[in-house]
Structure 1
Amino acid sequence: MTTTAEVPRPAAKPALIVDCLGLTGRHLRLMARRPASIVGGIVLPVVFAVLFLTVFGRVMERAGLDYPQYMLPAIVVQAAFFAAMSGAVWAAEDASSGMVHRLRAMPISRPAPILSLLIGETVRAVIGGIVLIALGYGFGFRFETGVLGVLTFAGLVIVATAAICVPYLVLGYRLAEPEPAQALGGVIYFPLLLVSTLFVPKEAYPGWLQPIVEYQPLSCITEALRAVSTDGYTDVPATVGIALLWMVGSLIVFGVLAPRVFGKAS
């Protein structure tokens, strides 16, 4: 009696990874076909960088501030916010068009639709960040902290983009309408932008407002990027640690809310 040896089958990839890859590809293809996504993710941050560096650069240099070194991390964070607001619109479109219902009915991993949209927006923000850094080198920005600074900067940008995007995805799925999601996203963004150290140091604000300016999440993330890219910063571990607390807190809180809101989106 002869027996045939069983041919070992290759281990199947985890469903979550396969589903995320497939849906992320969908999001990236849709983004590539929509000019507004390219404008919002790459063109607008570049325009802001050129305007600020050319208009305010010399003024800030006279005040003793290396403005390209100070400004570029802020523009990178701003690009992450543009990606987050775009993510809110995509989430609202999926909810309003019935795509969320279709995804919930399909045999796919439950977190995959949210994670894939998050990954897609993070990829777009990272591409925009690379373009901004290349532009910043033309204006005088440099990574003064070596290879470790570059790697830490890149890691912080990725985590920060995810931490900023997750609340906006919750907003988009909750509202389920693109126009309100876009409008409310701007309402959240602009106060954080204006009362922060993105464009000017905290000393430019009234004394009573400076603690709020210094410790709000946008300022903490931007200061962490400056600390790991610019030589001479003191208390770099503390600066990065505070930023990480904000980012991890956002990922945990809104990461728990996102599947629940996705499950009720209609």
Structure 2
Amino acid sequence: MSRARRIAAEAKGTYRTFVRRRTAVFFTFFFPVLLIVIFAGLVRTQSGSGGLFSEPTGYYVPAYLATVVLFTPLSRVGSTVARHREGNRFEKLATTPLTRAEWLAAQTLVNVALIAAASAVLLVALKLTGAEFALSPWLAFFVPVASVVFCGIGAVLGSIADGQDGAIAMSNGVALPLLFLSETFVQPELFPEWFLPVVDFSPLTYFARGVRAATYSGGDVVTNAAVIAVLAVVAFAVGAVLIPWTE
């Protein structure tokens, strides 16, 4: 069996496992939409008022997309790696031709497909609320590539966590700060000046900057795209190496 067929077979099994988990399907697709209903539909933004949500809704498109791009791969890949560790599944997979990089590639393919579908639902929901933003072709780059970044990070968390519950807790502990400290919902000018260099260490920052430049404000899309691409390669490689294929 070729590498492509091994990855495809593992991805098919991963997808079937996902669709059997109705709770996972619900929160993947409808939790981000719920956020839009609350913040874009009910709370509304008040341009020029200062503080949180003082920008037009289009400004927050990267933030809403980040809820899927960030939380879905961190929690799903992290918990899957931890569950495989607990069940000694990696030791069994190690006896097959499948490699750890191929296994992670299959997990990543499924997550990218799910995240792309959920992101499409999000964008439609945002348009229905009257948000003004461009449907830039760059979205087809940033969403999947950033998903790869966080699939790799999720694999790292699942490899070092103490069990599946620990992996989920670590994923949430990483995702929540990143979501609000990466130029998503909070404008840079609201951070203390000393904290601004810290924001640049978040991979989600470059996703938010790139998507916002492409869909709303204009600016340097290419540099942010390049950074995200490099981070995707590094995160995937580190995640694959740390997967405990044999223990």
Question: Which band: TM-score by shorter chain?
Answer: 0.7 to 0.9
Bigger drift between 174-183 and 17-26 goes to 174-183
Which position in structure 1 is the counterpart of 2:224?
242
Which position in structure 2 is the counterpart of 1:262?
243
* CA displacement, residues 192-245 of structure 1 (integer Å, 9 cap, x when unaligned): 223232112111222322343366322221121011112x52x324xx413531
Equivalent residue runs for 1:31-180 within 5 Å = 31-60=18-47, 66-84=55-73, 85-144=75-134, 150-175=136-161, 177-180=163-166
Question: Contact 1:170 / 1:257 at 8 angstroms: preserved in 2?
Answer: yes
Question: Contact 1:166 / 1:251 at 8 angstroms: preserved in 2?
Answer: yes
* CA displacement, residues 48-92 of structure 1 (integer Å, 9 cap, x when unaligned): 122121344243475695532111221111211121222111121
Question: Contact 1:69 / 1:142 at 8 angstroms: preserved in 2?
Answer: yes
State the Cα distance separating 1:111 from its structure 2 match: 2.2
CA distance in 1, matches of 2:36, 2:245: 39
* CA displacement, residues 160-183 of structure 1 (integer Å, 9 cap, x when unaligned): 111121111122133362100000
Instruction: Give percent identity, aligned residues only.
Output: 19
Q: Which has the larger radius of gyration?
A: 1
State the Cα distance separating 1:255 from its structure 2 match: 2.6
Specify the code of the residue in structure 2 equivalent to 1:131: V
Question: Contact 2:46 / 2:55 at 8 angstroms: preserved in 1?
Answer: no
Specify the code of the residue in structure 2 equivalent to 1:260: V
Matched, 1:188 2:177: no
TM-score if structure 2 supplies the norm length? 0.88
CA distance in 2, matches of 1:241, 1:229: 15
Question: Contact 1:16 / 1:111 at 8 angstroms: preserved in 2?
Answer: no
Question: Contact 2:71 / 2:175 at 8 angstroms: preserved in 1?
Answer: no
The number of equivalent residue pairs is 244
Q: Counterpart of 2:77 in 1: which secondary structure?
A: helix
CA distance in 2, matches of 1:36, 1:171: 22
More contact order relative to length (CA 8 Å, sep ≥ 6): 2
Structure 1 unaligned segments of length 5 or more: list them. Answer: 1-13
* CA displacement, residues 113-145 of structure 1 (integer Å, 9 cap, x when unaligned): 11101111111111110110010110123443x
RMSD across aligned positions (CA): 2.4
Matched, 1:200 2:200: no
CA distance in 1, matches of 2:174, 2:156: 13
CA distance in 1, matches of 2:77, 2:117: 15
Q: Judging changes above 3 Å, is the alpha-carbon distance between structure 1 residues 72 and 17 closer, same or farther for their aligned structure 2 residues?
A: same
CA distance in 2, matches of 1:164, 1:258: 10
State the Cα distance separating 1:33 from its structure 2 match: 0.5
Question: Contact 2:10 / 2:103 at 8 angstroms: preserved in 1?
Answer: yes
* CA displacement, residues 25-52 of structure 1 (integer Å, 9 cap, x when unaligned): 1111111000221133111111112212
CA distance in 2, matches of 1:109, 1:216: 29
Question: Contact 1:176 / 1:265 at 8 angstroms: preserved in 2?
Answer: no
Question: Contact 2:152 / 2:238 at 8 angstroms: preserved in 1?
Answer: no
Question: Contact 2:159 / 2:244 at 8 angstroms: preserved in 1?
Answer: no
Specify the code of the residue in structure 2 equivalent to 1:242: N
